[in-house]
Amino acid sequence: MLYAPVPSPEPMHIPDGFLSVTVSVILWGISIIVIAYALKRVNADLGERQIPLMGVLAAAIFAGQMLNFTVAGGTSGHLMGAAIATILLGPWAAVLVMTTVISIQALIFQDGGMLALGANIFNMAVIGVAVSYVAYTTIVSLTSNRKWGVFMGGFLSAWSSIVVTSLAVALQLALSGTSPANLAVPAMAAIHAIIGIGEGLITVGALALVYSTRPDLLKLGQAGPKGGKLVWVIGLLLAIGLAILSPLASANPDGLERVAEQKGFLGIAKGPIYEVIPDYVLPGISNEALATILAGVLGVIIVFGVALAVAYMRRSRQVSGD
Amino acid sequence: MHIHFLDPYQPRLSPVHRLDPRVKFVLAVAFILTTAITPPGAWPVYILLLAIVLAVEILSDLGVGYVLRRSMLAIPFVLAAFPVIFTLEGLTVFSLDIGPWMLTASQPGLERFISIALKSWISVQAAIILAGSTPFPDLLVAMRAVKVPRLLVAIFGLMWRYLFVMVDEAMRLLRARAARSGHADRSDLKPGGKLVWRGRMAGGMAGSLFLRAFERSDRIYMAMAARGYNGEVHSFALPSLSPANWLVLGLSLAVLLILLIISILIFG
């Protein structure tokens, strides 16, 4: 029996290579600012308890992502965790916990890239947490803290955090010129509207248990943290902004493409490689462009073959040497 | 049953393992950054980058096969870049006739798609070498050296220490459920209960995992306080880098810089 830590099936952790350098660097900048502020706030609120609490809960969220349930033969739903972390810990601590989880996933398990880590933190630890916070606090205060309000708030905050995060991912991919907005946005939104239901169900299940055994942990709804209003407003703006921006971008992908080109996101026009290395083509293929690509691929295969051969020889030498 | 297979670190006696973790960390990030900046279609540069990463793999004794197996993780994401083949305008390479649609693959589209896939594959291999050849505590040292906030590094460290404990707990929960009710990994088995019920059960398990984590963190805090912890993170001063490590760092960065300049001058 191996419940090996599989990479999360939802396309949320962006690997390296998919985001342009500009997008990566900007999102790193935003994430660093948010993390720095969250560190300050959590340190003020929790003091010396911060390190053990954050560390162990990050480990719990990581492990909690392994708890899946069968949806239909072969597929399963499971947890991202931003919503449950926000509800139980408040927004700032949740930012730190999610940052820790995502960083370890990237650094150790290559679930998400290192250069793309800033973007992944921005999506899951900043947007995911902010949207969860807005949805949960709004619904809980509207229903004046009744039991069904807590559960409904939990479900909706989990669902909307997944969906809005996926919209952000789609927009970043479009801005980087990796996938066209008119395909990426609807596809991501549709997939995650379904995945979000699984997240919502798990979150409600977790809340139900906490509600009946440790109701004291659910105080966030009653006494919001200092600066909670600010988080609320920013979260709402993020959610609305992404919800409006992404359909717009998807309806008018050329617009986004133009923005991307003007800002230099899409990389500069390619130089005349054929002039610099005139013979860098394969003979027998009339289409020069295709020949260049094929030559590139062939080069990769050759390098790869040589590496495998060297590795193999080295191993057999070691075996005979022993 | 304990979960030890989680840690990707592979103990070996290779030169890559012996390299200072700070040097390795900086070089891995610099390598990935170089790969990211390389413009699409700069095939010779990609080939050189791939050759470098494969050479380090061989040097590290991790085994090319091991790194390749792990590098397959990023493959599903390549789907996200797939449409770009058909949406960029340019020289037509081939056309696909699928029912009512006509998909035209353009040369810039194909070029960008292959570039993205290659970049991603090369970068993930560098990250795998770093994680496979550096024990986690050494990675923490490297993070401290590049000025990641101390508190964050301490949280990372504590998370790693309890990760295996929490994953063991999660596996116990999963085993208990598998013994009693609602989960089926195989598609020909019918899981128990309705979908909503199964979702809430998984949620209950997550909830109990979090409650246990809360209580555990209380105990950990008390144990730390009993041993004199007062919120300060104490750590040893970082030793200075040996001349050999400086040499490796300088030479490697110079090579990456040259590659970068070539790629931008010729293909930019």
Collapse the DSSP code of A28 into the 3-class scheme (helix H, G, I; strand E, B; otherwise coil) and give the result.
Answer: helix
A62 and A143 assigned to the same domain? yes
Q: Cite the DSSP H helix spans in chain B.
A: 15-18, 21-37, 43-60, 64-71, 75-81, 84-87, 107-133, 136-145, 150-180, 195-226, 243-267
Whether A202 sits inside 8 A of B211 (CB atoms) is no
A281 and A180 assigned to the same domain? no
A237 and A312 assigned to the same domain? no
Q: Which residues of A touch B111 (CB under 8 A)?
A: 270, 289, 293
The C-alpha atoms of residue A67 and residue A60 are separated, in whole angstroms, by 11
B219 and B261 assigned to the same domain? no
B135 and B181 assigned to the same domain? no
**Residue A283 located in a structural domain:** yes
Hey, of A69, A121, A304, which one would you mutate to test binding to chain B, going by the most B CBs within 10 A of its CB? Answer: A69
- Given a cut of 50, is residue B250 above it in pLDDT? yes
* β-strands A75-77, A69-72 pairing: antiparallel
Please identify, among A217, A238, A262, the residue that sits at the C-terminal boundary of a domain. Answer: A262
A96 and A234 assigned to the same domain? yes
Q: How far is CA A68 from CA A57, A61, B7, in A?
A: 18, 13, 21
- Given a cut of 70, is residue A6 above it in pLDDT? no
What is the total count of domains within chain B?
2
B114 and B30 assigned to the same domain? yes
- Choose the closest CB to B210 out of A84, A100, A271: A84
Task: Say if CB B141 and CB B21 are below 8 A apart.
Answer: yes
Residue-wise pLDDT tens digits, A219-246: 754 445 566 777 778 888 887 777 777 7
B141 and B154 assigned to the same domain? no
- Given a cut of 50, is residue A5 above it in pLDDT? no
Smallest CA–CA distance, residue A32 to chain B, in Å, is 10
Residue located via tokens 């340190």: A43
CB proximity B268 to A under 8 Å: yes
The C-alpha atoms of residue A40 and residue A57 are separated, in whole angstroms, by 18
**Residue A279 located in a structural domain:** yes
B139 and B262 assigned to the same domain? yes
Q: Cite the DSSP H helix spans in A176-264.
A: 181-213, 228-251, 253-262
**Residue A278 located in a structural domain:** yes
Nearest to A60 by CA among B173, B210, B207: B210
What pLDDT does A233 receive?
Answer: 80
- Given a cut of 80, is residue A298 above it in pLDDT? no
B77 and B184 assigned to the same domain? no
Collapse the DSSP code of B41 into the 3-class scheme (helix H, G, I; strand E, B; otherwise coil) and give the result.
Answer: coil
Whether B151 sits inside 8 A of A43 (CB atoms) is yes
Handedness of CA B106, B112, B116, B122 (dihedral sign): positive
All residues at 6 or more sequence positions from B76 whose CB lies less than 8 Å from its CB, including other chains: A9, A11
Mean pLDDT of B46-55: 93
**Residue B3 located in a structural domain:** no
Task: Say if CB A281 and CB A291 are below 8 A apart.
Answer: yes
- Choose the closest CB to B120 out of A17, A201, A289: A17
Collapse the DSSP code of B148 into the 3-class scheme (helix H, G, I; strand E, B; otherwise coil) and give the result.
Answer: coil
Task: Say if CB B249 and CB B19 are below 8 A apart.
Answer: no
Work out the number of other CB atoms within 10 angstroms of the CB of residue A24: 24
CB proximity B224 to A under 8 Å: yes
B184 and B250 assigned to the same domain? no
Smallest CA–CA distance, residue A243 to chain B, in Å, is 20
What's the pLDDT band for A2 if we cut at 50, 70, 90?
A: very low
B249 and B198 assigned to the same domain? no
Q: Which residues of A touch B233 (CB under 8 A)?
A: 51
Q: pLDDT higher for A101 or A50?
A: A101
A38 and A171 assigned to the same domain? yes
A193 and A281 assigned to the same domain? no
A196 and A256 assigned to the same domain? yes
- What is the domain extent for residue B206? 150-226
Task: Say if CB A162 and CB A196 are below 8 A apart.
Answer: yes
Torsion of CA B181, A77, A56, B146, to 10 degrees: 150
A186 and A245 assigned to the same domain? yes
Residue located via tokens 């291999």: B125
**Residue A10 located in a structural domain:** no
**Residue A12 located in a structural domain:** no
With CA atoms as reference, the chain A residue closest to B137 would be: A108
Task: Say if CB B216 and CB B162 are below 8 A apart.
Answer: yes
Q: Which residues of B touch A35 (CB under 8 A)?
A: 149, 152
B46 and B167 assigned to the same domain? no
Q: Which residues of B touch A274 (CB under 8 A)?
A: none
What's the pLDDT band for A322 if we cut at 50, 70, 90?
A: low
Collapse the DSSP code of B101 into the 3-class scheme (helix H, G, I; strand E, B; otherwise coil) and give the result.
Answer: strand
51-110 in B: which are within 8 Å (CB) of A?
A: 51, 54-55, 57-58, 63-65, 70-71, 73-74, 76-77, 79-84, 87, 91, 93, 107-108, 110
CB proximity B135 to A under 8 Å: no
**Residue B1 located in a structural domain:** no
A199 and A305 assigned to the same domain? no
Which token pair is B227?
């041993």
**Residue B70 located in a structural domain:** yes
B95 and B121 assigned to the same domain? yes
Residue-wise pLDDT tens digits, B70-115: 888 777 788 888 888 887 777 777 777 776 667 778 888 888 899 9
Q: pLDDT higher for B37 or A310?
A: B37
**Residue A108 located in a structural domain:** yes
Whether A62 sits inside 8 A of B33 (CB atoms) is no
CB proximity B262 to A under 8 Å: no
**Residue A7 located in a structural domain:** no
Task: Say if CB B156 and CB B143 are below 8 A apart.
Answer: yes
B214 and B113 assigned to the same domain? no
Angle between helices A147-175 and A253-262 (to 10 degrees): 60
Q: Long-range contacts of range B236-243, CB-CB < 8 Å, 24 or more positions apart?
A: B238/B22, B238/B141, B238/B144, B238/B145, B241/B20, B241/B22, B241/B23, B242/B20
What's the pLDDT band for B41 if we cut at 50, 70, 90?
A: confident
**Residue B208 located in a structural domain:** yes
B55 and B93 assigned to the same domain? yes
A257 and A283 assigned to the same domain? no
**Residue B65 located in a structural domain:** yes
Phi, psi for residue B262 in degrees, rounded to 5: -60, -45
DSSP B103: E
- What is the domain extent for residue A122? 21-262
CB proximity B152 to A under 8 Å: yes
**Residue B19 located in a structural domain:** yes
The C-alpha atoms of residue A97 and residue B150 are separated, in whole angstroms, by 15
What's the pLDDT band for A130 if we cut at 50, 70, 90?
A: very high
Hey, of A13, A21, A26, A67, which one would you mutate to test binding to chain B, going by the most B CBs within 10 A of its CB? Answer: A67
**Residue A15 located in a structural domain:** no
**Residue B192 located in a structural domain:** yes
Whether A110 sits inside 8 A of B124 (CB atoms) is yes
What pLDDT does A221 receive?
Answer: 43
Please identify, among A213, A242, A262, the residue that sits at the C-terminal boundary of a domain. Answer: A262
What is the total count of domains within chain A?
2
The b-or-e profile of A119-143 (16+ CB within 10 A means b, else e) is bbbbbbbbbbbbbbbbbbbbbbeeb
Whether A110 sits inside 8 A of B127 (CB atoms) is yes
What pLDDT does A9 receive?
Answer: 46
A245 and A291 assigned to the same domain? no
Residue-wise pLDDT tens digits, B138-155: 999 999 999 999 889 999
% of chain B at pLDDT higher than 90: 47
The C-alpha atoms of residue A167 and residue A187 are separated, in whole angstroms, by 10
Whether A18 sits inside 8 A of B80 (CB atoms) is yes
Whether A303 sits inside 8 A of B40 (CB atoms) is no
What is the ipTM metric for this complex?
0.90
A210 and A134 assigned to the same domain? yes
Whether A56 sits inside 8 A of B205 (CB atoms) is no
The C-alpha atoms of residue A60 and residue A101 are separated, in whole angstroms, by 9
The C-alpha atoms of residue B210 and residue B83 are separated, in whole angstroms, by 40
